[in-house]
Copies of this chain bind each other. A is one copy, B any other.
Amino acid sequence: MKSGIPGFDEMVGGGFHQGTVNTITGSSGTGKTVFASQFIHHGIGQGEKGMIITPSESAEYMRREMMSSFGWDFGALENDGKLSLIDVTDPVLRLQKSIDVDPVDFLINFRKLVERKLQEEKPKRLFIDDLTAFFMAVEAPFKIRSLTDDLFGTIRSSGVTCLVTIGTAFGTNQFLEYGADSATMLNRERIGNTLIRSIYVMKMRGSKIANSIRVLDISDDGISVSTLSPYP
């Protein structure tokens, strides 16, 4: 399945595999949300219905940012029934997210919500924006592992192709990457006085991947992988 990120599919020998869960890891501002949004936006252009679930930022906010940064009109695509943008904090979903809720309960309910929404909407592409804070709240690594397995299992069995973004602030990225079908790392490295965005695919099950770190560019046209390498 074409990622829609120019240069990326060549790195992994053809794009993401259908029915897989793929992580995009990076610290704040490395381009995770742009990468995954473009994956969704590109899919819609191919006639593949998209779904975005934002556990930590309001959907309204994402609509505005993608419009102003890249001219992607998510609101219009929602109205056309080509995209469903789900804000878990929406009271209709009754998925309480507050300081009083138990993170394990939240994650179990979150999994159920994802399952129901996938059945209702039957999207081809799914993007779940950074839910590491919730996993971080689960103390036992053993439980994190089980909850990840359950969520990823639910997603895989629906046949949708999914991107999950992961912040590095919470130190749980390893647990999620561990259970994923592919793991991509976004970085920003200091070369002299300059900070260069970089991308590197750590693994993709079933694919031969490029053994190299590449430069990642963000411009008004969106995100793309350059054939350049970040190191001089």
Please give the residue numbers on chain A whose beta carbons come within 8 Å of chain B beta carbons, in ascending order. Answer: 28-30, 56-58, 61, 64-65, 68-69, 97-99, 103-104, 133-134, 136-137, 140-143, 145-147, 149, 153, 156, 167, 169-170, 174-175, 177-179, 183, 188, 190, 192-197, 200, 202-208, 211-213, 218-220, 229-231
Contact = CB atoms under 8 A, between A and B. Distances in A.
B99 A146 contact: yes
A208 B218 contact: yes
B137 A140 contact: yes
Given A28-B174, A203-B28, A211 B194 contact: yes
Contact of A169 (B174, B200, B220, B230): B174
A29 B211 contact: no
B99 A143 contact: yes
Contact of A142 (B137, B146, B220): B137
B231 A213 contact: no
B205 A69 contact: yes
B145 A141 contact: no
Given A56-B179, A142-B137, A203-B29, A195 B208 contact: no
Nearest to A220: B208
Contacts of A196: 211
Contact of A178 (B28, B103, B137, B205): B28
10 contacts: A29-B204, A58-B153, A65-B205, A69-B205, A99-B142, A136-B141, A137-B140, A190-B213, A195-B200, A195-B213
This chain: copies in complex:
6
A135 B200 CA distance: 30
Contacts of A178: 28, 167, 169
Contacts of A30: 203
Given A170-B141, A202-B28, A206-B68, A229 B146 contact: no
A133 B142 contact: yes
A56 B156 CA distance: 15
A202 B29 contact: yes
Given A29-B183, A137-B141, 6 more contacts: A29-B202, A103-B142, A167-B178, A169-B174, A194-B211, A194-B212
